[in-house]
């Protein structure tokens, strides 16, 4: 048996906490014979290194980051905790899975009166990271949206990377967009989700969670890491 540790960022936002709990419960439903344990890297408890130290002596462990791109938390916080134990592995984050783009499109459609048209502009609004790989992950998601949405899609970051969301929204208006729609590329309500609200877009889509498809992505990551189909 292998334990799955679902590691989210952590938030003081109660609705964000509830959204993550919903995702973890969905994973438990899909994996009834797997021990599924929640952890965080910031703000809340229990922290990932403490959870791994508790679980690793009893079982092999696979950590699935409940994060949307490679960044400091995945490449440093989680990786260092994982590397301290020979029987613990880490999967990629969730964001580049095609189902995440599906959820984003549904969220965008739900806030765009009359549907998205070619004279709108979508700003994919991500948290941001100094890690170039994180930007690559977000750009991959933006490319998936461009392939399926009639409106142009640009990228904006809340922090640590450029352009910032407010700059991307302003550039969209300068370019003559009829409506600017900020697509929140964040997993749950919390600090970064609020920053998107303040960027000045006409419409802002909801965070990705709760959504049962996120659990499907987590289960796929877990099975790939454990060598299961």
User: Are 38 and 102 in a shared domain?
Assistant: no
One domain, residues 32 and 48: yes
- Domain of residue 80, residue span: 2-94+210-226
> Quick one: 61 and 115 in the same domain?
no
Tens of pLDDT along 117-175?
999 999 999 999 999 999 999 999 999 999 999 999 999 999 989 999 999 999 999 99
Q: What is the CATH number of the domain that holds 11?
A: 3.40.50.1400
- Rounded CA-CA distance 185/108 in Å is 11
Order of all β-strands in the sheet with 203-204: 153-157, 121-126, 180-185, 203-204
Average pLDDT, the chain: 95
pLDDT at 177: 97
Residues 46 and 77 in one domain: yes
Domain count, the chain: 2
Looking at residues 36-46, what average pLDDT do you find? 94
* pLDDT over 70 at 229, yes or no: no
Same domain, 80 and 112: no
**CA distances in angstroms from 70 to 85, 91, 127, 192, listed in the order given:** 21, 11, 11, 16
Whether residues 102 and 200 share a domain: the answer is: yes
Same domain, 106 and 191: yes
Neighbours of 166 (CB within 10 A): 19
- Residues 154, 159, 163, 166: is their CA dihedral positive or negative? positive
Q: Is the pTM of this model over 0.75?
A: yes
Same domain for 214 and 200? no
What tens digit of pLDDT does each residue of 50-80 get? 999 999 999 999 999 999 998 777 878 899 9
Give which of 65, 66, 39 is closest to 50, Cα–Cα. 39
């Amino acid at each position: 048996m292998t334990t799955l540790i679902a590691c989210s960022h952590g938030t003081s936002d109660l609705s964000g906490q509830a959204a993550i709990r919903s995702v973890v419960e969905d994973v438990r439903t899909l994996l009834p014979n797997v021990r599924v344990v929640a952890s965080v890297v910031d703000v809340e408890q229990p922290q990932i290194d403490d959870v791994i130290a508790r679980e690793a002596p009893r079982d092999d462990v696979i950590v699935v980051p409940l994060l949307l791109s490679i960044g400091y938390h995945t490449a440093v916080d989680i990786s260092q905790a994982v590397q301290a134990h020979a029987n613990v592995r880490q999967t990629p984050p969730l964001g580049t899975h095609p189902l995440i783009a599906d959820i984003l499109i549904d969220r965008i459609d739900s806030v765009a009166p009359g549907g998205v048209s070619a004279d709108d502009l979508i700003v994919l609004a991500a948290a941001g990271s100094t890690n170039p790989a994180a930007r690559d992950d977000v750009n991959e998601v933006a490319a998936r949206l461009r392939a399926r949405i009639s409106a142009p899609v640009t990228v904006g970051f809340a922090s640590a990377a450029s352009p910032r969301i407010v700059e991307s929204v302003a550039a969209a208006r300068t370019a003559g967009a009829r409506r600017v729609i900020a697509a929140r590329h964040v997993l749950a309500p919390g600090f970064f989700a609020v920053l998107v609200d303040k960027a000045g877009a006409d419409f802002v889509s909801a965070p990705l969670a709760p959504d049962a498809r996120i659990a499907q992505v987590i289960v796929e990551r877990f099975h790939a890491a454990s060598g299961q189909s």
